[in-house]
Structure 1
Amino acid sequence: MAAISTSAPGKLFLLGEYAVLDGAPALLAAVDRRARVTIGDSESGSWQVSAPNLGIVNLALGGDGGLPAGLDAAGRSKLRVFDAVREAVLARAPRPARPLAITMDSGALSRGGHKLGLGSSAAVAVALTAALATALDLDLDREALFRLAEQAHRRAQGGVGSGGDVAASVYGGLIRYSRGAVPVPLRWPEELSVLAVVTGEGALTTRLVGRVADYAAEDPARYRADIARLAGLAERAEASLGDPDAFLRLAGDYFSALTVLDTHARAGIVSERHHELHAVARREGGVFKTSGAGGGDVGLAFSHSGEPAERLAAALAGAGAAVVPLGFFTAGVHGGSRS
């Protein structure tokens, strides 16, 4: 079999995080840091997997690519997305799979060994689903690819998450995403600039979302009020793209509403560093907010394009913040053809 190569982009939530878990729409952007997967025939006669950025090289697998019985808990955790995707694709494949050698690399979605919160596991799930489907002659259109990858990724994450990261990796660009609905492509206004800003050393999404879920169980009435506030703002996001000033106000209001949720949930979504960067951005006429789960992941700084964006970038650098060189609204999953 000729080698098969695929790639899928990372993502950033622009607006709608946490509210999307309760059915509100979210705006997500695909970014130009990509997870890459290569599949070929195994020369050893048994399934093998490599993930160099995770320290896994030519790991021999069991029949049909199952994880070996002697693999320790740390190794199983690193390969939980691989295993979930493998099972999902093989269950639908039209023919048995011959032994394959699979290489996955999501190192581009990290910085200095720390994840940036760009949805690396979702990008791997999408790229791997596309590559395995091609290798096993499973014909998937874009929506079917999304559904299969999202199902596998959700299983690997223990049922946590909205699926928005998987959708952004499949569809690319700028999308409006609601759970259970087909993503809608949107256009980002040229008058607005967005910067990605490092705010810490990465956060575990499942832990932060789990703390918010605990809050929902402990104080359901107050939780519903907090989420209703976020959802009301999220519903206005798409329309606000036509008015840059309205979008900037909305982004600031969303950060404030997230701060209220975090204060009540004691989850650690919004840190003191986030508040410092929010104040820096506000002095320059821009807005800083967390993105996705929050915590130590990358945050976002919005402003008018041109000179205001340049001033904001300089002010953030002056405050010791690192702007990550990211391209926004990049193409979705790519490849799958044999080369």
Structure 2
Amino acid sequence: MIMATTQPTPLPTAPMPTIRTSAPGKLFLLGEYAVLEGAPALLTAVDRRVEVTIDPSPTGSWQVSAPNLGIRALGLGTDGALPAGLSDRQQAHLRVFDEVRVAVQTAARQARELQQTDPRVRPETSTPPLAITIDSSALSRGGHKLGLGSSAAAAAALTDALAQALGLTLDRNDLFHLAHAAHRSAQNGAGSGGDVAASVHGGLIRYAPGTAAVPLRWPEELRISAVVTGEGALTTRLVGRVADYAAVNPAQHRADLDRLTRLAEAAEAALADPADFLRLASDYFDALSALDNHARAGIVSLRHRELHALAEREGGVFKTSGAGGGDVGLAFSYAGEPTERLAGALARAGAAIVPLGLFAAGLQGGTAS
């Protein structure tokens, strides 16, 4: 149970100030797919952020904007409910918003019920009409999502912003659980929560479902480059194909996931030895390739295999990141000249490196008059 409280609000209240929050995107370094079975994963937050702004509504009714998704001042129903008649595309874009809205309003109502004997706490459970703006443009390139966890970052930033707007006090762990539950619901029950954990906590973390995120240190001798490998892939579709494979051939699926799990469990210790980590990253790519060969999910493409071979020739390692498919991949290398050499080889092969700052700060924000 989330032990949230509402801030006592003396009456009359001052006008609500503008609320601004932001949460970083993420990269899965190791542990993809195995984390769905409970294994640990390594993730880093990146310096591309989803930004959420909440103001009192100028129209007297709820509205939401997501300009980079083509949604501008969309009128909402009572307490921010999505209106009827939205297109499938609009509904898909706003699913995370709607799940977060319901989750935060429910948590706020429960907190108020617990504090109903406090005369300083407003007894109503409704919220003054809000104007909410969500900007996830920084996590796209040329209009295509990069696979940096924009929906998870949006869930984290929205949860924090709406909680503040409703006077709900959440510590970082409670905020993660609320955002993760809403994000998972928006994805029809899929997702480990690792992307939400990276967005909330920031930095480099070890994450396993059902456990607290553990901050880690990245070895100074190694560098990570994010490489564009195609157009963004739909995570739920790829994960769904692996789930279909598990239903058809459970024994082989179990063997594939056991192999990935053994490697994922060795990842944290491998950070102490750069050479060990590079070998582990290469082995993990091979294990993902085996899973994909059996599942025919589209996790590892021909382009991925070409980049893996190229990186190996240059003394580095390339692997997919996250669900795989067309999202960004990762090139690991020793710092200095080896990184420059690998970057040059990738450029000659037509693989663009996305400039990303890694180990970025987690959830940030507050109010401004």
TM over 0.5: yes
Where 2:102 maps in the other structure, the secondary structure is helix
Aligned to 2:44: 29
Deviation, 1:2, is 1.0
Deviation, 1:69, is 1.7
Letter paired with 1:132: L
- Name the CA distance, whole Å, in 1 between partners of 2:83 and 2:163: 22
Aligned to 1:67: 82
272, 277, 288: which one aligns with 1:242: 272
Aligned to 1:5: 20
43, 56, 62: which one aligns with 2:58: 43
Deviations 1:204-260 (A, max 9, x none): 000000000000110000000000000000000000001000000000000000000
Aligned to 1:303: 333
Aligned-pair identity in percent equals: 73
106, 115, 135: which one aligns with 1:91: 106
Aligned to 2:170: 140
Where 1:295 maps in the other structure, the secondary structure is coil
Deviations 1:42-89 (A, max 9, x none): 010000100001100000100000001222322111100000000000
- Name the CA distance, whole Å, in 2 between partners of 1:337 and 1:245: 46
The within-5 A match list for 1:305-320 is 305-320=335-350
Aligned to 1:102: 132
Where 1:270 maps in the other structure, the secondary structure is coil
Aligned to 1:270: 300
Aligned to 1:290: 320
175, 182, 199: which one aligns with 1:152: 182
Aligned to 1:15: 30
- Name the CA distance, whole Å, in 2 between partners of 1:308 and 1:133: 46
Alignment RMSD, CA only?
0.7
Where 2:176 maps in the other structure, the secondary structure is helix
- Name the CA distance, whole Å, in 1 between partners of 2:337 and 2:84: 58
Where 1:79 maps in the other structure, the secondary structure is helix
Where 1:179 maps in the other structure, the secondary structure is coil
Who wins on radius of gyration, i.e. which is larger?
2
Aligned to 1:82: 97
- Name the CA distance, whole Å, in 2 between partners of 1:177 and 1:64: 34
- Name the CA distance, whole Å, in 2 between partners of 1:117 and 1:70: 29
1:331 aligns with 2:361: yes
Where 2:155 maps in the other structure, the secondary structure is helix
Deviations 1:168-204 (A, max 9, x none): 0000000000001010000111111000000001100
Letter paired with 1:311: R
Aligned to 1:174: 204
Letter paired with 1:215: Y
1:204 aligns with 2:251: no
Aligned to 2:309: 279
- Name the CA distance, whole Å, in 2 between partners of 1:304 and 1:230: 24
Aligned to 1:225: 255
- Name the CA distance, whole Å, in 1 between partners of 2:334 and 2:217: 16
Where 2:168 maps in the other structure, the secondary structure is coil
- Name the CA distance, whole Å, in 2 between partners of 1:141 and 1:306: 40
Letter paired with 1:66: A
Deviations 1:254-287 (A, max 9, x none): 0000000000000000000001100110011000
Unmatched tracts of structure 2, length 5 or more: 1-15, 113-124
Deviations 1:84-107 (A, max 9, x none): 000000111144211000000101
- Name the CA distance, whole Å, in 1 between partners of 2:312 and 2:200: 34
- Name the CA distance, whole Å, in 1 between partners of 2:228 and 2:34: 23
206, 212, 219: which one aligns with 1:189: 219
Indicate conservation of the 8 Å contact 2:17/2:367, yes or no: no
1:260 aligns with 2:290: yes
- Name the CA distance, whole Å, in 1 between partners of 2:83 and 2:239: 31
Deviates more, 1:66-75 or 1:103-112: 66-75
Unmatched tracts of structure 1, length 5 or more: none
Indicate conservation of the 8 Å contact 2:21/2:157, yes or no: yes
1:322 aligns with 2:359: no
- Name the CA distance, whole Å, in 2 between partners of 1:78 and 1:246: 41
